[in-house]
Amino acid sequence: MTVDIPEGLGWVRRVPAGREWLAALPGLLAGCAEEWGLRVGPPFPYAFASLALPAELPDGTRAVLKLQYPDPDSAHEATALSRWAGEGAVRLLAHDAGRRALLVERCVPGTPLHALPADQALDVVVGLLPRLWLPAGAPFTPLAEEAAGWRERMPASWERAGRPYERRLLDLALDRLAELAGTQGEQVLVNQDLHAGNVLRAAREPWLVIDPKPLAGEREFGVVAMVRGTELGHSPAAVRHRLGRLSAGLGLDVERVRGWAIGQTLAWSIGGDTVFTQNIETARWLAGLD
């Protein structure tokens, strides 16, 4: 079985683990198709961290087959979907841990949340998130542990990338992460990649979350990806509006949200040899350095 790799997944060719995964994909895909009796179509073009393909089960049920790149961020995606049990998120239909393969409900029509005007989209998020914030612990990675990893890696990544932003911004992010990690509120199931492209229009519910990268952490962290994401506008005013609107609408401490957003956005601003300048801009705007 041949596999067409979407452009967004091209980065995996640059790392040895990625090349190994690409070489294994045809076998993984064939194995899943046989195990679950699937008919699969061409991959969705927007994939970045997994190969996702439309699939149909023997009874005609429409689904999505997702073959994950084996990174730690998505290790507990299936567990999160199981915990949510279709409440505000796509249903997990089947899971093959050995293949890092998930079969999930397909959202129809699948229109992304960012097709709405920004304030309407934020209203959807305010309605969805409390349903997803279930009490959480093991096996989900604690946010404090994840933040410690960011703090450990960020200075070296910044040096290797040629110091692409000012030292005072790095120091601010490191300080905020250290302060916030040890003073959190109740630990709930949060999603560190809940941007407006990962909430889709569906038939069973108006909007469903897809592709979670779950952690156990406080609610203030749970809106960071929506504040950071560019899908609902990339400007100082748009970023600050999302920060204020989501914090107020969900009863969150706006300064804790701001601190987590600065820290994670900057931690995610360098990946390998790539510098994501929009993340750096967003962190500067949140820090008031514009």
Percent pLDDT > 70 in the chain is 99
Residue 108's closest CA among 243, 210, 3, 234?
210
| H or E element in which residue 213 lies | none
pLDDT at 186: 98
* C-alpha dist (Å) from residue 217 to 149, 177, 220, 267: 15, 13, 8, 17
pLDDT at 10: 78
Measured CA angle at 58 (ends 55, 59), to 5 deg: 105
Instruction: Indicate the pLDDT class of residue 7, thresholds 50, 70 and 90.
Output: confident
More confident residue, 43 or 281: 281
| H or E element in which residue 62 lies | strand 62-68
Question: Cα separation of 21 and 29, whole Å?
Answer: 12
- Residue 208 sits at φ, ψ, to 5 deg, of -135, 140
Which residue in the list 71, 193, 253, 273 is annotated as catalytic? 193
8-39: pLDDT as tens digits: 777 888 888 888 888 899 999 999 999 999 99
Instruction: Indicate the pLDDT class of residue 5, thresholds 50, 70 and 90.
Output: confident
pLDDT at 215: 98
Residue 42's region, left for phi above 0, alpha for psi from -120 to 50, else beta, is beta
pLDDT at 123: 98
pLDDT at 184: 98
pLDDT at 1: 64
Q: If DSSP codes are grouped into helix, strand and coil, which group holds residue 144?
A: helix
Question: Cα separation of 29 and 277, whole Å?
Answer: 35
Mean per-residue pLDDT over the chain, rounded: 95
Q: If DSSP codes are grouped into helix, strand and coil, which group holds residue 39?
A: strand
225-246: pLDDT as tens digits: 999 999 999 999 999 999 999 9
Q: Token pair 């993340």 is at which residue?
A: 279
Active site residue 290: no
pLDDT at 6: 80
165-211: pLDDT as tens digits: 999 999 999 999 999 999 999 999 999 999 999 999 999 999 999 99
Q: Are 106 and 64 in contact (CB under 8 A)?
A: yes
Residue 17's closest CA among 72, 79, 95?
72
For residue 89, the cross-strand partners are 209
91-137: pLDDT as tens digits: 999 999 999 999 999 999 999 999 999 999 999 999 999 999 999 99
- Residue 104 sits at φ, ψ, to 5 deg, of -130, 160
Distance of CA 39 to the CA centre of its chain: 27
| H or E element in which residue 242 lies | helix 236-250
Question: 10 Å Cβ neighbour count for 91?
Answer: 17
Total count of residues recorded for the chain: 290
